[in-house]
Chains A and B, each alone.
Chain A
Amino acid sequence: MNNVLIINITRMGDLIQMIPLLARLQDESPGVGIDLIVDREFGHMAAMIPGIRQVFIFDFQALMDESRVCARDVVSLYQDLSHWAKPLLQVSYDRVINLTFNRRSAFLVKYLGCADERGMTTAHDGSFLVKNPWMKYFLDFHVYRHLNRFNIVDLFALGGSGPGRFHPIELFVTPELADWARTFLRNAGAPRYWVGVQVGASDPMKAWRPEYFGQLMAHLSQGRNVGFVLIGTPKEEPSVEEALQVYRQAGGQGVLCEAVGKTSVPEVVALLQQCQLMVTNDTGPMHMAVGVKTPVVNISVGHVDFRETGPFGPGNWVVQPDIACGPCGFDKVCPHHACKDHLLPQEIAGLCWHVLGEGALPTFSSTIRVFEGGIDEDHLGTFVLRSGQEPSVTAWYGTFWRRAWYEMFTGGFSHTLPSSSLPPDYEEVIALWALFAPQVSALCQQVKLVRSLSRRQPVPVLDLKEAQHRLKEHTLVMKELVRASFAYGPLTVAFIRETFNLEGQTLQAMTEEYVMAAKTFQDRVTLIFDQLTRDSPEPKRRDLYASAIG
């Protein structure tokens, strides 16, 4: 494989989180040339990423603005875009990896035309497809979000390349920038520790309350020689001001270096490199800190699930409130933000001192969970619970599905420890199996019927439509049946994804794909049932139910 193209247009965090993928690609094919398409807004960030051969920048925002209001005619818009894309067409890419999960990037993937497409693309008629099982998982895991144990970093690496060695996120800071950062900080003071603080966030739902940041800083500064580097965009200035007001009122003693709205993206990275710790919401700068090996304490509130987007790798920590409603859905409009009040600033300050090597891991109240980042046996990023408790069902199934998906998608074995006990909802699993297994069998039969009808000449259109309608209804019934089941629900979602992912150009080709998908589903369902009931003390009962699947 000589040439790979990555499309990563929409978010700065995604750009940083794809860095281990680049290393994985080099492991897969040493010397491979990796090109990158980014939006103009992230051009500076792309320049700090090692391992990119060429960055193709386009002003997609301008395209959006101009096309919406017809500022330019369609011919000139097309000519600009096709002129920009021309060099891409001249490279014969062996693989195109689309890490931008939206419809517009899917068209770009198809336009480029490559045999090995990963991520969102389109079929021949412009309908949307997702290629690669990890990429499909990425699109759907939000349905059973609490069960996900894969960081986006690993999903990108696994989907874009495959399993392999652990690679950390690494950003390159030029010596000139590093000098600039040292000088910038020196002008503010010379404390023993510099702590980077990101008070703001792109979404207020995931921003811890500014006054708590202020209190945290005040606690950290008590009797200790610490300085704070405040970073953020100009829009975040009001939040930072609020934090600083509380900090001063609470007797904060540390040196302040205010860099909010005063720095470029590369300068923020350089500043974070000079810090010994960063305390942050779930933000782009959090990943920057990880990229320059500055340990991170991540405040994970609102709709953030740190397992997806948390700071990647060892040396980083996450604090999460123990609250029934969290993490909440992306569409949630929360009137109280009570999760933020569960995290006590003085406790987080204690964690910070532990991370700085100045004290043992403190004890925490029951309202908080504390996780430490690490690497698991499959060389994937992981988080280990160090304080607090997780609901037993989600914890159990989280571990279960982490192994199951890994083995299903890689075709290999997971080296992580399997759950040693039966699932906490074992009785429900068995009871539901009695209903679910026959549904799965019937589904496979229905799919085969559709295939046989589609093979007839001439095609019996009315019968075929009727059969397709029954198949659709059957699928919906089955989906509803297992919606609440952590045992069977995730697989059903994956199967439904496959039914929307048919590439065949003819009816017959599509029904063949459908049959394959149903067969795979049935095999996986059987496998999962086996794994769930492996340790059952009632083998006869297990065999009886297993036979229900036919």
Chain B
Amino acid sequence: MNVFQENISILRSQDPALASHLLNTPGGLLSIYPAKSGLPTAVVNNRSIHSAYDPLREAEQWAAHHAKDCQAGEVLVVLGLGLWYHLEALFANVSQDSLIMVVVPNLQELVDGLAVRGLKGWGERVKWVWGDPESMAGQVAQQGQRVRLLTYEPALSLHADVYDAFRLQLRQQLAHRANGTLHVMVVGPIYGGSLPIGGYVVRALESLGHRVSWVDHSLHERGYQQLNTIRDDRLRMTVQQRFSDTLGVISLAHVAEDPPDVVLAMSQAPLSMAVLEQMRRKKVLTAMWFVENFRHLTYWQQMIGGYDFWFVMQQAACLDAFKQAGASHVSYLPLAADPSIHQRVNLTEHEEDELKADVSFLGAGYRNRREILPALLGHEWTFKLWGNEWDNCGTLAKVLQRNGARIDTPTSVKIFNGTTVNINLHSYTKSGFDPDGDSVNPRTFELASCGAFQVIDHRTLLPDLFDDTMMKVVRTPEEFVPAINTSLREPEQRRAMAEASKQQVMTSHTYVHRMETLLSAMGLASPDRIGAILQGERQAESLLARSRESPELIPLLNTFPKKSRVELVDMARAIRLKGPEAQLKREELLILMMDEYRQEKRDFL
């Protein structure tokens, strides 16, 4: 019997369907040749999958590095197959009881490996995960245990898109199963576009059942703007920086007073690197949702090491840039809408007089908009322009509403609802459409959520979010006028598209969806903290199961409802409630001692 047959025999006993498929799958994905040490190694398109010198030693180093973070009770999911030297080494480095699942994105790769490398002695304990990404994710999620992803990069890059799809599916499925609650501290900016998004994030997290502390620095906007009265540029910038630093220390004080499971900062939240470093020293997990264009606003480069998790609204080049700059975890997370705010509304007669129009645009006066929008004047439709920073806008001045005042969210919603054709033109500091235009602005989601029809400039990431049955997409500025004309003449199609886009938002693009994704991503990346909490491992019944070694804790844990999250503070509170007539037991003294340490704050600032 050759190696392949022996391996198939082993696999048949574990997964007959897999064995049967493998028998009918040709190999040839991997080019196999002997390494210097004599063992087989593999190459694909001139890229080495294992060391050309000593694949065993390389694998041992990989396994030793990853095994130290692995904990009992976790499912270890390995991404990256190759000739699985790293898998064998991992088995040798972790406990015998560990469940190791290996994702097989392509059966050809497995066939190539089975032909040259044996499974005997360890492969019997592997759980092979194969199929489409959704079913693979399901196989992992249904284990019901904490999941730790371990990646072997050289092999992972062979099927990066499949692994990405798997990760996305896994995140979603774990999110749906999550029943644990977190304490999230959301830190907002002093002012700006991400401020309302911070508010939506808070509401979404709360609606998911999490406890949210909102550090609202917009309260200080007036003071900050007052600094503009300092005329000297250098002085003004110095003072603004100091002001911002102080707000960062205020955020740190909030963290010290009521430590969260994670601090989620919105773009331009005033958290300096010094503050973030201090949070890191105090083991506070931090995340940033960077809702800016990474090419236009580049401060992220200086902040990259400050956050444990980055979430960005662009893909590809953006993700690459963040990874290259040193981001430990970065994920794509597009914007969204809040249906409780961005919704269909009826306008009063008075409101209709002011806000209703055939065609509207709401936004700031960037250069490309100043150049493109005049083409919308002088037609048979009414056109209204809303928003600020439209000084000296030439011919547009006659349609500029409210003298170019900033428009608040409730009014925006009414404008969207009162407009027949909403123009959604992404900002660009030069002429025309941004040639690199990828991310989709919040207005896209908000219009859709309101059930409002929109004509939008093309963005590369738009098709993944909304298809062309949901909004009218134009690829050049010249297409706006014909698109508007057509849309105005086709009310049924307009209504159908608007309704379809609204349904799409409700199904997939609310801030609740985004927060589920965000938390799930953090959970996968931090399985022993965020992941454990989300999976309910801090609930009383789970803690009880882990108290076998410390049975003295069981009576106290039994006083809590099974599904309630129980932390040190809760145990200590329960002990103190016993009152002055209690005779404290040894374990209770130790809990109270730890709780005294927990309450210490002086070292935070």
Residues of A bordering B, CB below 8 Å? 60, 63-79, 81-82, 85, 102-104, 107-108, 110-111, 113, 122, 124-127, 505
Contacts and interface: CB of A to CB of B under 8 A. Distances in A.
B532 A79 contact: no
Contacts of B600: 64, 68
A103 B259 contact: no
A136 B596 CA distance: 21
B590 A82 contact: yes
Given A69-B282, A69-B285, A104 B567 contact: no
Nearest to A89: B586
B484 to A, nearest CB: 53
Interface stretch (B95-103, B365-373, B573-581): B573-581
Contact of B589 (A60, A65, A73, A111): A111
Contacts of B550: 75, 78-79, 82
A69 B538 CA distance: 13
Contacts of A126: 575-576, 582, 584, 588-589, 592
Main secondary structure of the interface of A (DSSP, over half): helix
B541 interface: no
Contacts of A65: 281-283
Q: Identify which of A74, A78, A102, A126 gathers the most chain B CB atoms within 10 Å of its CB.
A: A74
B464 interface: no
Nearest to A65: B283
Contact of A63 (B579, B589, B592, B597): B597
Given A68-B259, A69-B259, A69-B283, A111 B579 contact: no
Interface in B582-605: 582-584, 586-598, 600, 603
Interface string B277-301: 0000111110000000000000000
A107 B588 CA distance: 9
Contact of B568 (A77, A104, A113, A125): A77
B598 A68 contact: yes
B275 to A, nearest CB: 15
A104 B603 contact: no
A125 B550 CA distance: 22
Nearest to B593: A107
Contacts of B578: 125
A125 B590 contact: no
Contacts of A74: 543, 566-568, 570-571, 591, 594
Contact of A67 (B261, B586, B597): B597
Given A71-B529, A75-B553, A66 B283 contact: yes
A120 to B, nearest CB: 11
Contacts of A68: 259, 282-283, 597-598, 600
B590 A111 contact: yes
Interface residues of B, number: 49
Contact of B543 (A67, A70, A73, A127): A73
B242 to A, nearest CB: 19
A60 B547 CA distance: 23
Contacts of B260: 69
B537 interface: yes
B549 to A, nearest CB: 6
Nearest to A61: B603
B589 A107 contact: yes
Contacts of B532: 73
B546 interface: yes
A122 B592 CA distance: 11
A81 B260 CA distance: 23
Q: Identify which of B284, B566, B589 gathers the most chain A CB atoms within 10 Å of its CB.
A: B589
Nearest to A103: B596
27 contacts: A64-B597, A64-B600, A64-B603, A65-B282, A68-B282, A68-B283, A68-B600, A69-B259, A69-B261, A69-B283, A70-B259, A70-B261, A70-B533, A71-B283, A71-B529, A73-B543, A74-B543, A75-B546, A75-B553, A79-B550, A107-B589, A122-B584, A124-B583, A124-B584, A125-B579, A125-B582, A126-B575
A81 to B, nearest CB: 6
A77 to B, nearest CB: 6
A78 B553 contact: yes
A68 B583 CA distance: 27
Interface in B548-570: 549-550, 553, 566-568, 570
Contacts of B538: 70, 73
A104 B580 contact: no
B66 to A, nearest CB: 20
Contacts of B597: 60, 63-64, 67-68, 104
Nearest to B282: A65
A63 B587 contact: no
